[in-house]
Amino acid sequence: MNKRRFKAFRIKGESETGIGIAEHVGKESIYIASLYYDRQLSHRDIFCAVGGHVYGLLEDDDNAHIRLCDFQMKKSFKAAFPERVYFRTQSYHESFSEPKLLAEDSIQRRISITEVLCGKEEV
């Protein structure tokens, strides 16, 4: 199995939600997503948005390890995803600065954008 690593950060506004996701190999980002929702999402909805987005990127021999920043996660949330997607929460650390900027960017632009970096094929 190919282990892919992701970090995610969310910002909940009064009437909108921004989610930033970065896939990284070592310290280098190879994929970024700045996801915008024109409504305030619940924790479960945010969890499903992150997990669903990442799951859609996986090939048959991939599994995903997603670190969520300052997130309340219930066991029932995890049940929605197959064993190929693993979640972990942790407190804010500077390593979350990129996904945080991506979440802020989505709120400012009011649009979702994804980009493949480092010469990988378009997803």
Rounded percentage of the chain residues whose pLDDT exceeds 70: 96
For residue 121, being part of any structural domain is answered with no
Q: Any residues with CB less than 8 A from the CB of 61 and at least 6 apart, and which?
A: 1, 2
Evaluate if residue 2 carries a pLDDT over 90: yes
**Average pLDDT taken over every residue of the chain:** 91
Residue 123 is predicted with a pLDDT of 42
Torsions phi, psi for 49 (to 5 deg):
-65, -45
Helix/strand/coil for 90: strand
By residue range, what is the domain housing residue 45?
2-116
Q: What is the CATH number of the domain that holds 110?
A: 3.30.420.10
Are 66 and 50 in contact by the 8 Å Cβ rule? The answer is yes
Specify the pTM.
Answer: 0.91
Complete DSSP assignment for 100-112: HHHHHHHHHHTS-
- pLDDT digits over 36-72, tens only? 999 999 989 999 999 999 999 999 999 999 999 988 8
Report the domain count for the chain.
1
